[in-house]
Amino acid sequence: MSQSQPSAAKPRVALFVTCLVDTMRPTIGFASVKLLEDAGCEVEVPTQTCCGQPAFNSGDMKNSRRLARQMIRAFEGYDYVVAPSGSCAGTIAKHYVEMFEEGTEWHTRAQRLGEKSYELVSFLTDVLKVDKVTASLEKTATYHDSCSGLRELGIKAQPRKLLSSVSGLKVKEMENAEVCCGFGGTFCVKYPEISNDMVSKKTTNITASGADMLLAGDLGCLMNMAGKLAREGKDVEVRHVAEVLAGMTDTPAIAAMEEEGISR
């Protein structure tokens, strides 16, 4: 892989794995570490829980601020903060500043942290100038553009660029790849029927694309889509894009079908 860091010192990257990755799918965390270290970063994992997005989106500003301050304290001492999630990275990069009054110390600290916080794949391509990976995978994958990553952080071309360098992998676009999958955090359990309508439209488009694999950059979206594909009995392998880019696809896929399932 290529890397054009002018400075001699390795960039110190604090990995924010996100609470979903931490609890549900550590493989994504390890894939993130590998990708960042391969690109020449020194990776650390400060003690962490959650960026506070559930509280923020529910209008609970008190807890949002508490969790934001906790994150800021733990992460502000690094060169970069990187998360394998567009929505969590978006919360830190774009929304922390909205939680604090302009002109206050916390607003400044939130702003500083936000300016050096990135989603994983776009960090690799846009900051570290990585343009290819060494992984290989004989599959046809389709990519779902998670909303926050797409619309808050402009992530669209970057994952496709790196996926095109995975030898043996074909990427087939699905119709309406940019339309919301219906996860939306608590939305999917507060309005389950509407969420179901949205994820059903999404799984129809996934299977219509002819791909045998679904990738995305956000685990919430992936769990939602994988769960629906499983309920519908559709055989599509669902993974986080980091797993494919890091060549770590020997673990069971998300909600993998029984025959492939290996319990740990």
Partner 1 sequence: MSVSITSPNFKENAKKALDDVKLQNSRVHIEKGFIGKRSKSIAKVADFEQMREEGRAIKNHVLAHLDIYLEKFEARVKEAGGHVHWAATAEDARKIIAKICKDVNAKSVTKGKSMISEEIGLNSHLEDMGLEVIETDLGEYIIQLRGEHPSHIIAPAVHVSRKDVEAIFREKHTHLDKARVFHQPEDVLAEARAILRSKFQAADVGITGANFLIAETGSAVIVTNEGNGDLTQLLPRVHVAVTSIEKIVPTLDDAAVLMRLLTRSATGQDASVYTTFFTGPRRPEDPDGPEEFHIVLLDNGRSNMLGSEFEEMLRCIRCGACMNHCPVYHAVGGHSYGWVYPGPMGAVLTPSLIGVDKAGHLPNASTFCGRCESVCPVKIPLPKLMRHWREREFERHLTPKAVRFGLAFWAFFARRPRLYNPLARLGMAMLKLLSGGKTRMKTVPLAGGWTKFRDFPVPEGGTFQSQYKKRRKEEGAAQ
On whether the CB atoms of residues 100 and 106 are closer than 8 A, the answer is: yes
Judged by beta carbon, residue 40 or residue 227, the one nearer partner 1 is 227
In which residue are the tokens 């999958």 written? Answer: 181
Binding residues among 149-178 for partner 1 as defined by CB under 8 A: 151-152, 178
On whether the CB atoms of residues 82 and 14 are closer than 8 A, the answer is: yes
Q: How far apart are CA 214 and CA 241, in angstroms?
A: 9
E strand spans, the chain: 12-15, 42-44, 80-83, 117-119, 136-143, 167-171, 213-216, 237-240
Asked if 223 touches partner 1 (CB under 8 A), the answer is yes
Judged by beta carbon, residue 172 or residue 231, the one nearer partner 1 is 231
CB of 58 to partner 1, least distance (A): 6
Binding residues among 22-51 for partner 1 as defined by CB under 8 A: 22-30, 33, 45, 47-50
What residues does 82 pair with on adjacent strands? 15, 118
Q: Using the rule CB under 8 A, give the single segment among 108-116, 124-132, 148-156, 158-166 that binds partner 1.
A: 148-156
CB of 167 to partner 1, least distance (A): 27
CB of 154 to partner 1, least distance (A): 11
Q: Which amino acid is at 80?
A: Y
In which residue are the tokens 């619309």 written? Answer: 151
On whether the CB atoms of residues 142 and 211 are closer than 8 A, the answer is: yes
Asked if 256 touches partner 1 (CB under 8 A), the answer is yes
Binding residues among 189-218 for partner 1 as defined by CB under 8 A: 189-199, 201
Q: Using the rule CB under 8 A, give the single segment among 52-60, 75-83, 124-132, 156-164 that binds partner 1.
A: 52-60
What SS3 class is residue 194?
A: helix
Q: If residue 177 lies in a helix (H) or strand (E), which one and from where to where? A: none
Q: Which amino acid is at 108?
A: T
Binding residues among 55-94 for partner 1 as defined by CB under 8 A: 55-61, 63, 66-67, 70
Asked if 3 touches partner 1 (CB under 8 A), the answer is no
Q: Of 14, 88, 97, 180, which one interacts with partner 1 (CB under 8 A)?
A: 180
CB of 18 to partner 1, least distance (A): 9
